[in-house]
Amino acid sequence: MLKRLQADPRYRRMCAVKVLREVGGTVVEVSDEMPLVFPGRGDVLRDPHNFNRTWRAARGTVYKDVTQYTFRKTVATLIAEMADSKTAAKQLGHSRDGITERHYIASPERAPDSSAVLEAGLGRAS
């Protein structure tokens, strides 16, 4: 009987609801020291699934390619540029910065300015 329940795709959901009921349904209170960009009702943390649903409705077709992953990459890149990759990794909850560097921090799109080297190599004066 237990194996059959575990094979049911609703099993995890039922267990999660049961556990939440046992612990009294925890809601994370947010203090003024930690302002949220997208707070839930009552200024509490928003469930990721609720955020996705709201974001899909709000983004329309103009921002259809922007996802939570896009937000995470943007945050990681900005923090890495202003601080370092270790700080970005901590912000994303990664234990090491290797994953953050490989998958989240954007590589520079522009090549460095090599015009002086190219002009010197081609014999042109700058």
Both tokens of 27, joined, read: 């809601």
Q: What is the pTM of this model?
A: 0.53
| Residue 24, pLDDT score | 55
Whole-number average pLDDT of the chain: 76
Residue whose C-alpha is closest to residue 91's, from 83, 5, 28, 8:
83
Residue 25: pLDDT band with limits 50, 70, 90:
low
Sign of the CA dihedral 36, 98, 80, 54?
A: negative
Give tens-digit pLDDT for 35-88: 676 677 777 777 877 878 888 888 888 888 888 889 899 999 999 999 999 999
| pLDDT beyond 60 at 6 | no
Distance of CA 20 to the CA centre of its chain: 25
47-51, 89-93, 112-116: range with lowest mean pLDDT:
47-51
Q: How far apart are CA 105 and CA 78, in angstroms?
A: 8
82-86, 87-91, 122-126: range with lowest mean pLDDT:
122-126
Q: How far apart are CA 68 and CA 55, in angstroms?
A: 9
- Are 104 and 88 a contacting pair, CB within 8 Å? yes
| Residue 53, pLDDT score | 84
- Are 20 and 26 a contacting pair, CB within 8 Å? yes
Continuous H helices in the chain: 2-7, 11-23, 48-59, 68-82, 85-92, 97-99, 115-121
